[in-house]
Amino acid sequence: MNLFIFVSQCQWHGNSSLDHCTTAPVRAHRHPLLDDHDNIIFYRSMTEKKTSKHELKLDRLSENEKQKLIIELVKIQNDGTVEVDIEKSAPVASELLELSSVEGASFYVDDNSLSPSNKSIPRLKIAILVVGTRGDVQPFLAMAKRLQEFGHHVRLATHANFRSFVRSAGVEFYPLGGDPRVLAGYMARNKGLIPSGPGEISIQRKQLKAIIESLLPACTEPDMETGVPFRAQAIIANPPAYGHVHVAEALGVPIHIFFTMPWTPTYEFPHPLARVPQSAGYWLSYIVVDLLIWWGIRGHINSFRKKKLKLPPIAYFSMYRGSVSHLPTGYLWSPHLVPKPSDWGPIVDVVGYCFLNLGSEYQPKEQFNEWIQKGTKPIYIGFGSMPLEDPKKTTDMILEALKDTGQRGIIDRGWGDLGNLMEVPENVFLLEDCPHDWLFPQCAAVVHHGGAGTTATGLKAGCPTTIVPFFGDQFFWGDIVHKQGLGPAPIPIAQLNVESLSDAIRFMLQPEVKSRAMELAKLIENEDGVAAAVNAFHRHLPPELPLPAASSDEDEGHPNSIQWFFIQLNRWCCLPCPVAVQASDMRIVSTFALKTANCPSAAQPPPPPTKTSLPNSIRALTSTPLCINNAGESGLTLEPEQKE
């Protein structure tokens, strides 16, 4: 694997001028997962403090004093973003950069150590951990389906709200803690990172604790419906699934981060949650946001590490506080919209959008079909999962803007309860739960909150776009859309009114804007982000990834479906036992019975049989092809399974 991080080293010569601030690469380091012989050592302590050859005054700072460096450097804005103004606090910025370069290791792994994309990959049990709204889940569900085509056993763990959504796609589901409606409401009320009051702190802590504590079971517990055992051999996660890297450390498995917004430090643009007046502060903004987030979650994480994972706690300024900079990372946007920054090394990929393509099977209601066909293409207006302070006021505003511009409009009610009208005008259609990939091609332009998934679908459809950001990365995507000539400047929800919305609609209807949107749509159409994401995951797997044991599709002592069947049949213990039983050995039952005395769970009373456990095991036995390697095989080169 190859990993390269740049560190900004700012030097001020007697003044606070930014003319002397430079961005330069620092020395190379061995990857923490590799020993001197290039062997994978994932269990090496990820919390060991790095020491500097040179004594710095920062070495004498306490944890509280180091935290004060950040407080002096940042200002939380009303929109929830973090202002990082290094011109106002140049010495503080310099010290923080120095501290980061000393206490947080930067890594470089040679290009040649990257695993080839066509290498032999064993069939793996992969846990995908996703925290967020439906738009956050969709690209990971598309990845899960493609990974299954390569023979992997994939479990998508996300909020219980999306159980039917995931299972209907044919992917195993496991519930994570946290409620996306509560999380979205919290973010909308607090505009981002910092709770606005004691009540909000309580909500944040409860949701965060539920998410973190559900991560380990999501990677190790049997399927909750079938009882089939599962233990992750690799983890895919998005950054808000706080605790992902710690679970991977405890299990000793590789982890790959995928996300819909930039999370890796770069000097080309600031962190999406930061506002940085000077370009020299772009790289620093990632450190600041990372440390602010860690400030809020470190208590939960360290408790989780000590009590659940049996790992040592992590210091505030540890490199492994939760940062993803040292991990293989894939970004889920089109490189034609935001090219990969030149300072992101080969451990980082911009793979493209990952579309689920739900619209191909969607059948609209006849009433909606008739409305769409009897007039000009409408303007779509909807804010997805974003809660609204005054839905009626926002609805009236939308109706007035459509009337002012003479346009037809689709109002997507979403979670904000838009369009609660006694009488609906003829030029308006109220819509609920329609796949955007079917809907947006029917529209002349789109107005939405700027969620990454909604933005992607609108651009793929060639729609000029107006983004009305509420919080977070929505401001970032609004700026990108405007800079690319695909829509007007973003209109923060607090500034949305009839005049600004009317002006935005007129801007989007200009022929040159539509032309630019169609040009980008053609480029996106030729991308296959799902294939690129799966390829990146395979390519970044450790070269010495342990293969399944001979004659097994091993999972905690259950080499294959036959053994699991007999284990369910005999119900000797509540957990799979690590016994070496050959699938061809006709003495499986007796061998298993003799070995249960050595199983740590044998002393525990067995759980009562369920009505579904044995039938499901039998069904799995007859429907699941066995994946058995002969002794000495080095794995199979996987290609997507051909469907007849």
User: Residue 313 corresponds to which amino acid?
Assistant: P
Banded pLDDT at 172 (limits 50, 70, 90): very high
Q: Which of 89, 90, 93, 83 is nearest to 276 (CA)?
A: 83
Highest mean pLDDT among 97-106, 354-363, 569-578, 584-593: 354-363
Burial of 113 from C-beta contacts in 10 A (0-12 / 13-18 / 19+): middle
At residue 269, does pLDDT exceed 70?
A: yes
Q: Specify the higher pLDDT residue, 566 or 427.
A: 427
Q: What's the pLDDT score for residue 90?
A: 60
Banded pLDDT at 333 (limits 50, 70, 90): very high
In this prediction, what percent of the chain has a pLDDT beyond 90?
48
Q: What's the pLDDT score for residue 399?
A: 96
Q: What's the pLDDT score for residue 517?
A: 98
Q: What's the pLDDT score for residue 611?
A: 40
Banded pLDDT at 314 (limits 50, 70, 90): confident
User: Residue 327 corresponds to which amino acid?
Assistant: L
Q: What's the pLDDT score for residue 288?
A: 84
Residues 348, 434, single domain; the answer is no
Q: Specify the higher pLDDT residue, 284 or 594.
A: 284
Average pLDDT value for the chain: 74
Q: What's the pLDDT score for residue 81?
A: 66
Q: Which of 410, 86, 434, 91 is nearest to 278 (CA)?
A: 86
Residues 231, 324, single domain; the answer is yes
Banded pLDDT at 96 (limits 50, 70, 90): low
Instruction: Flag whether 51 is in a domain.
Output: no
Residue whose tokens read 């609660």: 420
Check residue 40 and report its DSSP letter: B
Q: What's the pLDDT score for residue 70?
A: 66
At residue 568, does pLDDT exceed 60?
A: no
At residue 443, does pLDDT exceed 70?
A: yes
From CA 529, how far away is CA 439, in angstroms rounded?
Answer: 21
Banded pLDDT at 277 (limits 50, 70, 90): confident
Residues 317, 392, single domain; the answer is no
Residues 379, 432, single domain; the answer is yes
At residue 167, does pLDDT exceed 80?
A: yes
Q: What's the pLDDT score for residue 122?
A: 87
Tokens matching residue 196 = 């606005």
Measured in degrees and rounded to the nearest 5, phi and psi for residue 571 equal 50, 45
Mean pLDDT across the stretch 589-613?
Answer: 36
From CA 47, how far away is CA 32, in angstroms rounded?
Answer: 11
Q: What's the pLDDT score for residue 116?
A: 56
Q: Which of 336, 331, 330, 287 is nearest to 6 (CA)?
A: 287
Residues 371, 313, single domain; the answer is no
Instruction: Flag whether 612 is in a domain.
Output: no
DSSP string, 44-69: S-S-PPP--SS--GGGG--HHHHHHH
Report the C-alpha dihedral over residues 175, 176, 178, 181, rounded to 10 degrees: -50
Give the HSE-up count for residue 343: Cα atoms under 13 Å, Cβ half-sphere: 19
- Contact indicator for 8, 23 with CB cutoff of 8 Å: yes
Q: Specify the higher pLDDT residue, 76 or 618.
A: 76
- Contact indicator for 140, 176 with CB cutoff of 8 Å: no
Residues 152, 296, single domain; the answer is yes
CA 549 to mean position of chain CA atoms: 31
Instruction: Flag whether 15 is in a domain.
Output: no
- Asked which of 471, 496, 526 is the last residue of a domain, the reply is 526
Q: What's the pLDDT score for residue 193?
A: 52
For residue 213, the surrounding DSSP H or E stretch is helix 198-220
From CA 178, how far away is CA 451, in angstroms rounded?
Answer: 19
Name residues whose C-beta falls within 8 Å of residue 75's C-beta, 6 or more positions apart in sequence. 82, 83, 85
Please report, for the domain that includes residue 241, its CATH number: 3.40.50.2000
Residue whose tokens read 């609204």: 388
Residues 322, 385, single domain; the answer is no
Q: What's the pLDDT score for residue 599?
A: 37
At residue 561, does pLDDT exceed 70?
A: no
Residues 437, 303, single domain; the answer is no
Range scoring the smallest mean pLDDT among 181-190, 450-459, 505-514, 593-602: 593-602
Q: Is 237 helix (H, G, I), strand (E, B) or coil?
A: strand
Q: What's the pLDDT score for residue 51?
A: 39
Name residues whose C-beta falls within 8 Å of residue 585's C-beta, 6 or more positions apart in sequence. 591
Residues 260, 137, single domain; the answer is yes
Instruction: Flag whether 446 is in a domain.
Output: yes
Mean pLDDT across the stretch 524-529?
Answer: 97
- Asked which of 476, 499, 526 is the last residue of a domain, the reply is 526
- Contact indicator for 490, 465 with CB cutoff of 8 Å: no
Q: What's the pLDDT score for residue 293?
A: 84
- Contact indicator for 3, 347 with CB cutoff of 8 Å: yes
Check residue 160 and report its DSSP letter: G
Name residues whose C-beta falls within 8 Å of residue 427's C-beta, 6 or more positions apart in sequence. 375, 402, 403, 407, 408, 409
**Helices within 390-449 (DSSP H only):** 391-405, 436-439
The domain tally of the chain equals 2
Handedness of CA 132, 43, 557, 551 (dihedral sign): positive
User: Residue 151 corresponds to which amino acid?
Assistant: G
Name residues whose C-beta falls within 8 Å of residue 643's C-beta, 6 or more positions apart in sequence. none
Q: Which region, left, alpha or beta, applies to residue 145 given φ > 0 means left and ψ of -120 to 50 means alpha?
A: alpha
Strand positions, DSSP E, 160-233: 172-176
Instruction: Flag whether 184 is in a domain.
Output: yes
Mean pLDDT across the stretch 418-439?
Answer: 88
Instruction: Flag whether 584 is in a domain.
Output: no
Q: Specify the higher pLDDT residue, 631 or 269.
A: 269
Instruction: Flag whether 110 is in a domain.
Output: no
Instruction: Flag whether 34 is in a domain.
Output: no
How many residues in the chain? 644
Mean pLDDT across the stretch 493-502?
Answer: 96
Residues 238, 269, single domain; the answer is yes
- Contact indicator for 32, 327 with CB cutoff of 8 Å: no
Residues 245, 176, single domain; the answer is yes
From CA 51, how far away is CA 32, in angstroms rounded?
Answer: 15
pLDDT, tens digit, 9 for 90 and up, residues 109-123: 444 455 555 567 889
From CA 589, how far away is CA 566, in angstroms rounded?
Answer: 7
Q: Domain limits at 428?
A: 366-526
User: Residue 19 corresponds to which amino acid?
Assistant: D
Residues 171, 278, single domain; the answer is yes
Name residues whose C-beta falls within 8 Å of residue 196's C-beta, 6 or more positions apart in sequence. 189, 190
pTM flag (> 0.75): no
- Asked which of 514, 540, 566 is the last residue of a domain, the reply is 540
